[in-house]
Amino acid sequence: MKLDQTKTHVVHQWKHGKPLLACAFDPSGQFLYTTSEDFSIQRWLMSDAKGEQKTSWPAHDSWIRGLMACPDGKTMISAGLDDRLMFWPIGEATPKPIREVVAHKGWVRGLDVNKDGSLIATGGADRLVKLWTADGKLVREFKAHERDVYSVRLHSDGKHLLSGDLDGKVHQWSIKDGKITRTFDASALHSYNKGQRVHFGGVRDMAINAGSSLLACCGLHKATNPLGAIHEPLIELFDWKSGKKVRSQPSAGIRGSAWKVAFLSDGTQVTVSGGSGGGYLLFFRTGEDKPFHKFKLKNTARDMAIHPDGVTIATTHHDGYARVSRMAAKVSLPK
């Protein structure tokens, strides 16, 4: 499938009312789930162009920054700033939680599920990384980070777990014994402002490409005024085999942070930026420093999810809207 990112356009705009935070599709692509600052979760039908069949229910006791579907299509997991993981049945209009787990002491910031749904990884403000079974039982605790853990990623090989922190350190852990096998240096994503005495930035998200040859870490840099939200989005790209950085990919002139990064089916990357400069979908080629396309969104963006069809992208926004955008795509038919 050949993508044309330059023809990205918004196909749906659904209003919740309160500012939205996280988003995730279910594996079938039938539903989009979002979370809001009012501590609720929303379910939207992708077939409902006007969003009139939206349902919403109270969930955590604080903001929900993590949201992810299990590969079996039966369970959605939410991670809150109230220390908890909550497990929800997918498809029900107003579901009741299947289970709740107190995962960390403090905010749960990072969340990931492995490809067969048997393991769940979390990272938290307690600087710990934890591994759980699908039914919420603790398998292992990983301890080495000196600052808050912002993101986690389970490698498709089933052997490794990555965790990124505020300092820009990305530890690669062995799932088998819990030891660090190496550390990627993404410190360009960390800033310290002496005047404001603020550590700022961090590894907000990570993605590994289909061939496991590249690791992308995203966040921000040039934080000249962190409390004034003056900074720019940045992706740091690493060679997986050597662990060395191969490229920095800034988006000069855009004020914001890269909140989520993903590799698309054609090998390019997309990141969602949100901040004082508004919202953008930024598209990169792995061999280039600058984005080859910038798609301006109507409001500050906070999260991004890629639909199973590989061409549809959902974003959540401060103005309370969930927006669904679509790239142009051409499927090559066999001769």
269-275, strands of its sheet edge to edge: 257-263, 269-275, 278-284, 293-297
What Å distances lie between residue 46 and 8, 29, 164, 303, CA to CA? 18, 7, 32, 18
What single DSSP character describes residue 29?
S
Q: How confident is the model at residue 224 (pLDDT cuts 50, 70, 90)?
A: confident
Q: Does residue 293 form part of some domain?
A: yes
Q: Which residues contact 72 (CB under 8 A, 6 or more apart)?
A: 27, 117
Checking if the pLDDT of 276 tops 70, the result is: yes
Q: What is the CATH number of the domain that holds 247?
A: 2.130.10.10
Q: Is 180 within a domain?
A: no
Strand positions, DSSP E, 105-165: 108-113, 119-124, 128-133, 138-143, 149-154, 160-165
- For residue 267, which of 243, 242, 292, 244 has the smallest C-alpha distance? 292
Residue 333 has pLDDT above 60, yes or no: no
Is residue 324 within 8 Å of residue 312, measured between CB atoms? Answer: yes
Residue ranges making up the domain that contains 264: 1-17+189-335
Assess whether pLDDT exceeds 80 at residue 226.
no
Please report whether residue 306 resides in a domain. yes
Q: Would you say 48 and 3 are in contact if contact means Cβ atoms under 8 Å apart?
A: no
Residue 271: is its pLDDT beyond 90?
Answer: yes
Cβ atoms 274, 259 nearer than 8 A: yes
Q: Is the residue at 291 inside a domain?
A: yes
Least confident of 170-174, 181-185, 226-230, 243-247: 226-230
Q: What is the pLDDT of residue 192?
A: 81
28 token code pair: 């079938």
Could you give the strand order of the β-sheet that contains 169-174, starting from the edge strand earlier in sequence? 149-154, 160-165, 169-174, 180-185
Range 117-127 average pLDDT: 97
Mean pLDDT of 81-87: 97
**Does 46 reside within a domain?**
no
Residue 113, domain member (yes or no): no
Q: Is 185 helix (H, G, I), strand (E, B) or coil?
A: strand
What is the Cα–Cα distance from 76 to 26, expressed in whole angstroms? 8
Domains: count for the chain: 1
Mean pLDDT calculated for residue range 81-108: 96
- Position 7 in a domain: yes
pLDDT at residue number 244: 98
Residue with tokens 């040039």: 222
In a domain, 107, yes or no: no
Cα angle vertex 185, ends 180, 186, to 5°? 120
Band of residue 89 on the pLDDT scale cut at 50, 70, 90? very high
Residue 154 identity: L
Judged by phi (left if over 0) then psi (alpha if -120 to 50, else beta), residue 56 lies in beta
- Residues 212-217: what's their mean pLDDT? 98
Summarised one tens digit per residue, pLDDT across range 23-38 is 999 999 999 999 999 9
| Confidence at 335, pLDDT banded by 50, 70, 90 | low
Strand-pair partners of 113: 120
Q: List C-alpha distances in Å: 183 to 167, 169, 213, 253.
A: 12, 7, 16, 30
